[in-house]
Structure 1
Amino acid sequence: MDLTVNTPLDVSSADDSTLQSISGALGSFTETGASYLIREMYPKRPLRNFLWNDDFIANIDQFGNGPSWNREGEFESKLCPKERGRLFYLRDLESGEYWSPNRNFDRSGFDVFETEVGLGWSKIVSEHRGIRFEWTIFVPRVGNRECWKVVVSNTGDAPKELDLFAYSGSALNDLEHSAYNHAKFVDSLNGVLISHNAYNFPSTLKHHYVATTAEVRAYETTNRRFVGVYGNLNKPDALSRGGDLESIDTSFDTDMTAILQSRYSLKAGESVELRMVSGLASGLDEAARSAAEVFADGWFESEQAAIAAGIGRFAERIEVSLPQEDKEAEFFTNVWLKQQISLGKTWARTYTRGFRDIMQDITAFVSLEPESVAERICYCLERQRPCGNTLRQWEPIDLHPYRDGPAWIVPAVAGYIKETGDFSILERQVTYYESDESATVLDHCQRGMDFLLDHLGAHGLCLWGGGDWNDSLNGAGLQMKGESVWLSQATIVATRMLCELLERIGSSDTAAQYANKADTLAVDLRAEAWDGDHFLCGFTDWGEKVGARENKYAQVFLNMQTWAILSEVAEDPEALSDLIEKELNSDFGYVLNKPSFREGDDHIGRVSYFELGAYENGSVYNHGGAFKLVADCKIGRGQLAYETLRKILPGNPVNPPQVSGCEPYAVSNMYLGPENDLRGGEALMSWITGTAGWLFRGVVEDMLGVRAEYDGLRIDPCLPPHWDGVSVRREFRGSVFNIRINNPDMLEKGTLEIRVDGALLEGDVIPVPTTESTVCVEVTLH
């Protein structure tokens, strides 16, 4: 049995001088921003971290609790449940006292209690009654499993005799029919095997195993005996009565669990380390092989190093340096937005995989890991129908007739080609959804645009169908008469990107045809969708205006104004920007619409039934805020872009994490809007949001102005005036560009003087070097 005892132990805490407290009262980033140390362990809501590989994902809080699962197609195989998931207990044999070192149910006065949140790992540390506990959890690159490393140390002056109880609840309890259930200790596994041997089960993953390197003294397999029928996890019956666990298997049980008891005698300053694995398997043989691999000498260390190296590789492709007062924005751009985008491009929104979600995330991720993006584009295009429309989402499949999917295809494909120079992707063959027909990626692009451009309503605008980007405007166009202003604007943006792409490959005549359609759509938007001082949201199947001054609710929507700027439909974009600031700005950010709906309207959809300020009904929906940031830069308003950025990031001084509840290291999908007088400003759902990709691109490509083009790297910054000097390290097509942007006159936009390796550049696009090299770029705004 592998049991490592180390002596002596240095238990000194981290030097506070290496931490920068830039996110309020909850904790602090480490010096490089690559991890965050949570010191307030009982914040407004649990603080999450996501750990994942391509097949398996865990969503854990600061205590290490939370669900984990595998998804095979439409079926989700769950490992740990949302509650009663992962716990440890320590028992001092001399005093008989016990406590949970990772949960601290009683909020006892632990000497140390903190969690370090890293990229792909979390580490929970506590110190109580002279015992230090350290638990690191991560998900390896391959396999449906979690890996745990536990270190228990005696920090006192006298020897200690301790029992450690490692507890893992099982989501197999939630499956239908407990008559399939059995849990037992298996000597060859040195752990517990929990099984749901169901008939006609949709997955091979019927078994949950928990194994350890420790010498198992006793075990338990059910909460009926451990917690007790009327007990609770704070004071489990089995620990309250003392002695060893009963070491009994269980059957026909809806409360199966794996609890492994081990005993240690530690001298002063000694520590013991053990390894554990909790995972899903098709049977005992697979579980045993997995445990043997994980427990091999050096495997933990090499696997964690490989994970860090993989994350570090895509992270270093773009690195920015911002002024000292904006270190939060720097840390998010260099570290945490990239991690959120990576989660999105692999797992979309985790509860499902959405076409628009993945396409937007990979459009941002392409600059970080271009080699993986072509596969993800084709993966998504397999969910496009021959008519040109796409599934909204799959796993599970959503067949509601949303119509915005095609608008995201061309930006993703064009972004990939600009980043890599690889036009060959256009010739890749990809099958259509539920069809034997296969076509090129270029054909997929064109069919998507044809679907949008050729199905117009009475006002000449794109049909709304079951909804556009705003999922909750899902009742306005089901009769295929309603028209969406935002979708029409997004179609113009994508069509013009397609025209540029077609010109590049010599299809000028086809490009001209698409350009004419885009121009006509723009004319109709100006003529039909203008409401005196802003653009409408759309027209319902009944011809009713949405987002008009004549409406009782939701008279102005954010996205239709920002995308009017992005699509260049707005004749006076500055006036639209002023309107946004006047009507839609708040302390928490920019609301999606105002005023919020206060009564349901079936001609609108579910958004009208939502609570005030919730989701798309008047919330500060940060995805829309990120659109606004990009629009601000398009019209040269760098200060407004900066103010928008500050409000989206969790460190907003008016709504910091201890108030909003947002993780200090993740952007939130939304903040409840100011019209919600009960919970306004609260962040209920972070991590899983398209905000991350748009915000990352907004900072790098629009504020700093460094973005890929077909012919090279464009430099076109739009800065807040106080950014007098910033820099970007950018890898692009095999070369490294070290870019320094000087803003001595404290401008937002200006005339650019660009020197490339000392030579003055004509224009603002740096050509791709003929050989891989390091390029020094000096930019000055005048």
Structure 2
Amino acid sequence: MPICLQAYLNESNDLSLLDELLAFNDSEEQLTVKQHIELALDWLLYCRDPRGLSYINQGDWCDPMNMVGHKGLGVSTWLTLATAYAIKVWQQICEVYQLALDNKYVKAIADLNNAVNQHCWDGAWYSLGITDDNVSFGIASDTEGRIFLNPKSWSMLSGAANTEKQKLLITAVEQQLDTPFGVMMLAPSYTKMREYVGRISQKFPGSAENGSVYNHGAIFYAFSLFQIGEGEKAFQVMRKMLPDDDYLQRGQLANFIPNYYRGAYHQHPSRAGRSSQLFNTGTVSWFYRCVVEGIAGLQGENSELIIRPQLPEKWHSLKAEKQFSGATFSVKINKSKNAKQQTIRLDGVELAGDRIKNIVAGKHYQVKITLAAAKPSSKLTIVMGVSGCGKSSIAKALVEEFGGHFFEADDFHSDSAKLSMSKGIALTDAQRDPWISAMCAKLAAEFEQGNDCMLAYSKP
């Protein structure tokens, strides 16, 4: 509720909504919207285990995760983080509008985030939760369901992930969940029933919640990237939701965002990317916020318009028109190689900060924003050598020293191709072409994310 309320208040400044009286579903007693929100937050804080983690019961945002807590003991990393984020947003609302806020909520944010970092951090990413039998899952030692997207996104939103952890999380997502068709919800997909997880593991690998490119979850990730200033990476996540260059593979025109695209990219590559053709998704409202508040950087707050655009690297300009606080804003954003930082001119006058204040209803404002030009493009370095010469070790050492992502060219071969090579049998074009396509697709996806790549390639 605080998330929806903040979005509404930012645009409307209709603070009177908080004083509206509402009855309960099972009672005629009436309380204000503000009181209802704090009761809801109190309930979320009450439903935690002794470690301070939120009980999952019959599932969290992921409905078919229904057996993790059926005994009443299992907990959800995501729900704990979402609770922290909801309270964090409520705190922001109260601070902006100078509303009374019990200090217990401020303390709760830190307690929730600390609990997640203490019990759910697995070294390079967060687990998805802990079962009734005290087994962590969504961790590096799992052969299936090893990594889940949602905790990565919401840990950045809640503040649980510091800068160091954010870098690790983004790397984990890009290396294990990112595909040419978008970011998968989990990987590897479950291939058989896991009773401690639930019916998600009964779904076909790569479909629905079992490792698809589930766009609602993916847009959470994009939104979280915008919040930490990773606008280019966020844009690439969004761009893959509405493609115009591989619609034949997806089986859908770029005229709506479906519930999901098939995932399990490394397990079932021939099916990957196919559209579900389902439109029952909450993706679009978050996508819209990412466009307006993230890319264009236009966000209201207490009758003031904040301007913090994050244009994609390859975009040189943007025009937008926004209605806000009864006024019209015609916005032009341009990049300049000579600019070192953002500058804003309102009706020809340069602003000292990034907020437009004292807005007059009925007025038409002209806003011109200048941004620094984009950073240099990504680089691909290929380390070649015969088998056993140490090329992979050298490539990994270079990545460790200078950054980037490491890939072994042979890893993109199919199992049949690897078997042929192990027997010294030359590959056919039918075996070689999918290898080249898979390798090029992965590298293209990395470049779209703005990553440098190091490829170890065997020389005959």
Q: TM class, shorter-chain normalised?
A: 0.7 to 0.9
Which of 124, 137, 147 is residue 546 of structure 1 equivalent to?
A: 137
Which of 9, 27, 40 is residue 435 of structure 1 equivalent to?
A: 27
Aligned to 2:235: 642
- Does the residue aligned with 1:641 lie in a helix, a strand or coil? helix
Q: TM-score, structure 1 length as denominator?
A: 0.46
Listed as ranges, the matches of 1:500-539 within 5 Å are 500-510=92-102, 512-539=103-130
Matched, 1:605 2:179: no
Which digits, 9 at most, give the CA deviation of each residue in 1:25-44, with x for residues without a partner?
xxxxxxxxxxxxxxxxxxxx
- Does the residue aligned with 2:169 lie in a helix, a strand or coil? helix
- Equivalent-residue separation in structure 2 for 1:503 and 1:642 (angstroms): 30
Are the equivalent residues in 2 in contact too, given 1:650–1:662 (CA < 8 A)? Answer: no
Matched, 1:665 2:252: no
Aligned to 1:446: 38
- Equivalent-residue separation in structure 2 for 1:552 and 1:735 (angstroms): 55
Cα 1:547–1:690 change in 2 (3 A) is same
Matched, 1:569 2:170: no
Are the equivalent residues in 2 in contact too, given 1:577–1:632 (CA < 8 A)? Answer: no
- Equivalent-residue separation in structure 1 for 2:220 and 2:241 (angstroms): 11
Which digits, 9 at most, give the CA deviation of each residue in 1:306-326, with x for residues without a partner?
xxxxxxxxxxxxxxxxxxxxx
Amino acid at match of 2:361: T
Matched, 1:702 2:294: yes
Offset, 1:505: 4.7
Matched, 1:774 2:364: yes
Listed as ranges, the matches of 1:461-476 within 5 Å are 461-476=53-68
- Equivalent-residue separation in structure 2 for 1:746 and 1:626 (angstroms): 33
Cα 1:531–1:743 change in 2 (3 A) is same
- Equivalent-residue separation in structure 1 for 2:10 and 2:236 (angstroms): 29
Are the equivalent residues in 2 in contact too, given 1:465–1:480 (CA < 8 A)? Answer: yes
Which of 152, 164, 176 is residue 583 of structure 1 equivalent to?
A: 176
Offset, 1:768: 4.6
- Equivalent-residue separation in structure 2 for 1:492 and 1:702 (angstroms): 22
Amino acid at match of 1:597: Y
Aligned to 1:155: none
Which of 733, 751, 775 is residue 341 of structure 2 equivalent to?
A: 751
Listed as ranges, the matches of 1:266-665 within 5 Å are 409-510=1-102, 512-571=103-162, 572=164, 573-651=166-244, 653=245, 655-656=246-247, 658-665=248-255
Offset, 1:592: 0.5
- Equivalent-residue separation in structure 1 for 2:21 and 2:153 (angstroms): 35
Are the equivalent residues in 2 in contact too, given 1:574–1:635 (CA < 8 A)? Answer: no
Amino acid at match of 1:432: F
Are the equivalent residues in 2 in contact too, given 1:715–1:764 (CA < 8 A)? Answer: yes
Are the equivalent residues in 2 in contact too, given 1:599–1:608 (CA < 8 A)? Answer: yes
Are the equivalent residues in 2 in contact too, given 1:465–1:478 (CA < 8 A)? Answer: yes
Q: Which one has the largest radius of gyration?
A: 1
- Equivalent-residue separation in structure 2 for 1:666 and 1:623 (angstroms): 13
Are the equivalent residues in 1 in contact too, given 2:303–2:325 (CA < 8 A)? Answer: no
Which digits, 9 at most, give the CA deviation of each residue in 1:417-447, with x for residues without a partner?
2211111111111222233232211122111
- Equivalent-residue separation in structure 2 for 1:713 and 1:561 (angstroms): 29
Offset, 1:581: 0.8
What are the ranges of 5 or more consecutive residues in structure 1 without an aligned counterpart?
A: 1-408
- Equivalent-residue separation in structure 1 for 2:99 and 2:324 (angstroms): 27
Are the equivalent residues in 2 in contact too, given 1:711–1:765 (CA < 8 A)? Answer: no
Offset, 1:650: 3.9
Are the equivalent residues in 2 in contact too, given 1:588–1:620 (CA < 8 A)? Answer: yes
What are the ranges of 5 or more consecutive residues in structure 2 without an aligned counterpart?
A: 373-460
- Does the residue aligned with 2:330 lie in a helix, a strand or coil? strand
- Equivalent-residue separation in structure 1 for 2:127 and 2:208 (angstroms): 20
Aligned to 2:420: none
Cα 1:624–1:545 change in 2 (3 A) is same
Offset, 1:465: 1.7
Cα 1:550–1:458 change in 2 (3 A) is farther
- Equivalent-residue separation in structure 2 for 1:447 and 1:751 (angstroms): 44
Amino acid at match of 2:152: Q
Are the equivalent residues in 1 in contact too, given 2:55–2:72 (CA < 8 A)? Answer: yes
Aligned to 1:763: 353
Are the equivalent residues in 1 in contact too, given 2:88–2:158 (CA < 8 A)? Answer: no
Amino acid at match of 1:545: S
Offset, 1:567: 1.7
Cα 1:737–1:475 change in 2 (3 A) is same
- Equivalent-residue separation in structure 2 for 1:505 and 1:638 (angstroms): 28
Amino acid at match of 1:774: H
Cα 1:761–1:479 change in 2 (3 A) is farther
- Equivalent-residue separation in structure 2 for 1:641 and 1:746 (angstroms): 25
Which digits, 9 at most, give the CA deviation of each residue in 1:71-112, with x for residues without a partner?
xxxxxxxxxxxxxxxxxxxxxxxxxxxxxxxxxxxxxxxxxx
- Equivalent-residue separation in structure 2 for 1:599 and 1:593 (angstroms): 15
Which digits, 9 at most, give the CA deviation of each residue in 1:352-410, with x for residues without a partner?
xxxxxxxxxxxxxxxxxxxxxxxxxxxxxxxxxxxxxxxxxxxxxxxxxxxxxxxxx11
Offset, 1:686: 3.2
Offset, 1:772: 2.4
Amino acid at match of 1:563: W
- Equivalent-residue separation in structure 2 for 1:679 and 1:582 (angstroms): 20
Of Structure 1 and Structure 2, the greater strand share is in 1
Which digits, 9 at most, give the CA deviation of each residue in 1:185-223, with x for residues without a partner?
xxxxxxxxxxxxxxxxxxxxxxxxxxxxxxxxxxxxxxx
Offset, 1:677: 4.6
Q: TM-score, structure 2 length as denominator?
A: 0.76
- Equivalent-residue separation in structure 1 for 2:153 and 2:338 (angstroms): 26
Of Structure 1 and Structure 2, the greater helix share is in 2
Matched, 1:690 2:282: yes
Amino acid at match of 1:583: Q
Offset, 1:576: 1.4
Offset, 1:678: 5.5
- Equivalent-residue separation in structure 1 for 2:98 and 2:286 (angstroms): 31
Identical positions, percent: 30
- Does the residue aligned with 1:721 lie in a helix, a strand or coil? coil
Are the equivalent residues in 1 in contact too, given 2:11–2:300 (CA < 8 A)? Answer: yes
